[in-house]
Amino acid sequence: MANASGHTAIYPGSFDPITNGHLDLIERGSRLVDRLVVSILSNDNKQPLFSVEERMEMLSEVIGPFPNVEVDCFDGLLVDYAARKGATVILRGIRAISDYEFELQMALMNRRLGPGIETIFLMAGEEYSYISSRLVKEVFRLGGNISGLVPPTVEARLRKRKSI
Ligand code: PNS
């Protein structure tokens, strides 16, 4: 738990699956707050490739080096979940200008719904700015090389799948 003066941040997302871009954000975000909760939206409308449990396992396997990071899942409104967790910050990454519009909409909606919670953005590391979970899955499905784009555990799990 965060101490009384400490900041807890939620890093929400689908993480289907986690990429090295997400991991970079986790590493950098974890240095800014006392406690970072990486949380998977579990009632998503999208048809995920990996179950919430599998995604939580993959996240848990890669956050070892960051002692103030934990993994969780949530459903319902993000701001309600953040309040339950005692979080004051929502962390999101922005890769390109195309991310901005959706992120702005979400940040403003979340500010309206939960004025006490601030969304902070980190720019994706330049070497990760073109990586998305969707593209990783597509490249893998079509036989392309995804090493360096996702953590090795994710690549191994993708290989275990007969087809994606
Ligand atoms: O990885 P994604 O798919 O871009 O993450 C989107 C996510 C999970 C951050 C967003 O869909 C979300 O926060 N959903 C929770 C529902 C909610 O609070 N909606 C209203 C605020 S926009």
Q: Quick one: pLDDT band at residue 35, thresholds 50, 70, 90?
A: very high
Nearest atom within ligand 1 for CA of residue 46: 3
Catalytic, 22? Answer yes
Q: Quick one: pLDDT band at residue 3, thresholds 50, 70, 90?
A: very low
pLDDT of residue 163 exceeding 80, the answer is no
147 CA → ligand 1 middle, Å: 28
Q: pLDDT (tens digit, 9 = 90+) per residue, 10-21?
A: 999 999 999 999
pLDDT of residue 66 exceeding 80, the answer is yes
Distances (CA, A) of 28 to 24, 69, 102, 111: 6, 11, 22, 23
Helix (H) or strand (E) holding 10: strand 8-13
Whether the model clears a pTM of 0.85, i.e. scores above it, the answer is yes
Residue type present at position 93: G
